[in-house]
């Protein structure tokens, strides 16, 4: 189990921090109020856990000089220093130890900032960044900075190697490239990357020690997201990296929001038709087979009337989760409207469709939606069409007709069109 370690001698402050991390970020936490308790949790506690980050105060009753930070770093745990003590000397000392960040307990906003860092560190281990520089020393310096924040780091010695590595590593989200390189320089590399990867899909940060006045604008004009002039402070470097990645995440969320149902998280009706029509065209050419299903929750109005609309929403989400977990990534599972859902399954035979959708129906019947007042049981009726017909709309109409037959025949069943 991955958790957040809180090292804080103030019970009141620790309680506030723990509540915020657990309630808002949904991470489990462990709390130590002393250096000795920190050692016990990490080395002797029977409840073993992997801590992906620690939020630590500098001044503890048995370690007033920040020794707990050294201990945590030696254990390989990224450390966010959260303290009320500030001096320029102390700040420089902490940064030299390669902490994640040094945050002052000044205002309530600082709590939000720390929570943002915790969330960022958790995401970072799934985020790949490529560093491109001919100098092994400079690559190593940037790599160490990134690894403090738990990023997955790749290195390339020049532009050609960077392009080859990028072609074979689609998981890379950010490229940090030096300008001065023999062969393909940083500007040419940026141009080449942009021919294959859009700005909103892959971020690029150019770096250079050049005094050329317009170099930053040249990088931006050929497609870079940002530019850093060397030498740069660690704090500035981390801010630029985080800002670039958060912009990518925001764009992705906006795209997802436009094709997802906000309540259930399934695809929405518009996306079902936009993507489904492309699949249907392939099916007409004989490139694949399709099965289309219409699914309706039986007596859903009764759920709302008996338990309330909030409980009804929970039932919708529960059923949606059950459907999403039953189908492959190549299939489309969407909320059609109200309590109706639709599924487009790729390369599913008629025999398999009967089995798969009946298993889905059975699993929903067995499950329960747990709400504050009750455990609610529901059933579903499912109509399926496996013949391509002339259009996706005709397939849906046939599936809907089978759904209507299910309703007339007693509900809680699956019927396939002949």
Please give the positions annotated as active site.
339
Structure tokens at 136: 């092994």
Q: Which residue has the tokens 């990028």?
A: 166
The full 3-state SS of 195-250, as one line of letters, equals CCCCCCCCEEEEEECCCCCCHHHHHHHCCCCEEEECCCCHHHHHHHHHHHHHHHHH
Structure tokens at 156: 């390339």
Contact (CB, 8 A) for 63 and 34: yes
Of 233, 272, 224, 259, nearest to 92 by C-alpha is 233
Structure tokens at 153: 């780091």
Which residues 6+ apart lie within 8 Å of 191 measured at CB?
A: 222, 223
d(CA 244, CA 228): 12
d(CA 332, CA 334): 6
> How many of the other CB atoms lie within 10 Å of CB of 309?
10
Q: DSSP labels for 345-393?
A: EET--HHHHHHHHHHHHHHHHH--EE-SS-EE---EEEEEE-S--SSHH
146-to-133, 155, 174, 190, 241 alpha-carbon distances in Å: 15, 12, 12, 21, 9
């Amino acid at each position: 189990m991955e958790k957040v370690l809180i090292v804080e001698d103030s019970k009141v402050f620790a309680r506030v921090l723990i509540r915020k991390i657990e309630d808002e970020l949904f991470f489990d936490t462990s709390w130590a109020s002393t250096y000795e308790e920190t050692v016990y949790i990490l080395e002797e506690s029977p409840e073993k856990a992997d801590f992906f980050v620690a939020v630590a105060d500098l001044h503890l009753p048995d370690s007033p000089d920040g020794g707990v930070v050294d201990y945590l770093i030696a254990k390989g745990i990224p450390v966010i220093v959260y303290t009320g003590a500030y001096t320029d000397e102390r700040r420089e000392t902490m940064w030299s130890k390669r902490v994640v960040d040094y945050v002052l307990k000044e205002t309530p906003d600082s709590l939000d900032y720390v929570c943002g860092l915790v969330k960022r560190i958790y995401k970072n281990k799934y985020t790949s960044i490529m560093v491109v520089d001919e100098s092994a020393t400079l690559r190593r310096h940037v790599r160490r900075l990134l690894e403090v924040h738990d990023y997955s780091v790749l290195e390339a010695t020049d532009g050609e190697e960077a392009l080859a590595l990028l072609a074979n590593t689609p998981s890379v989200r950010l490229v940090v490239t030096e300008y001065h390189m023999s062969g393909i320089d940083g500007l040419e590399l940026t141009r080449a990357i942009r021919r294959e990867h859009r700005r909103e899909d892959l971020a690029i940060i150019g770096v250079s020690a050049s005094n050329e006045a317009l170099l930053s604008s040249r990088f931006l004009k050929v497609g870079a997201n940002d530019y850093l002039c060397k030498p740069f402070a660690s704090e500035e470097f981390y801010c630029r990296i985080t800002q670039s990645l958060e912009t990518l995440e925001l764009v992705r969320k906006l795209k997802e929001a436009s094709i997802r149902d906000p309540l259930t998280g399934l695809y929405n009706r518009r996306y079902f038709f936009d993507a489904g029509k492309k699949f249907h065209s392939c099916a007409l050419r004989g490139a694949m087979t399709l099965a289309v299903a219409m699914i309706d929750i039986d007596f859903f109005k009764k759920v709302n009337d008996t338990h309330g609309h909030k409980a009804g929403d929970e039932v919708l989400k529960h059923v949606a989760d059950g459907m999403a977990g039953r189908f492959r990534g190549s299939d489309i599972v969407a909320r059609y409207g109200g309590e109706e859902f639709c599924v487009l399954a790729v390369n599913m035979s008629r025999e398999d469709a009967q089995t798969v959708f009946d298993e889905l129906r059975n699993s929903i019947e067995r499950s329960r939606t747990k709400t504050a007042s009750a455990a609610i049981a529901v059933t579903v009726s499912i109509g399926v069409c496996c013949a391509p017909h002339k259009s996706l709309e005709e397939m849906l109409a046939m599936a809907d007709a089978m759904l209507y037959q299910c309703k007339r025949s007693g509900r809680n069943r699956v019927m396939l069109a002949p």
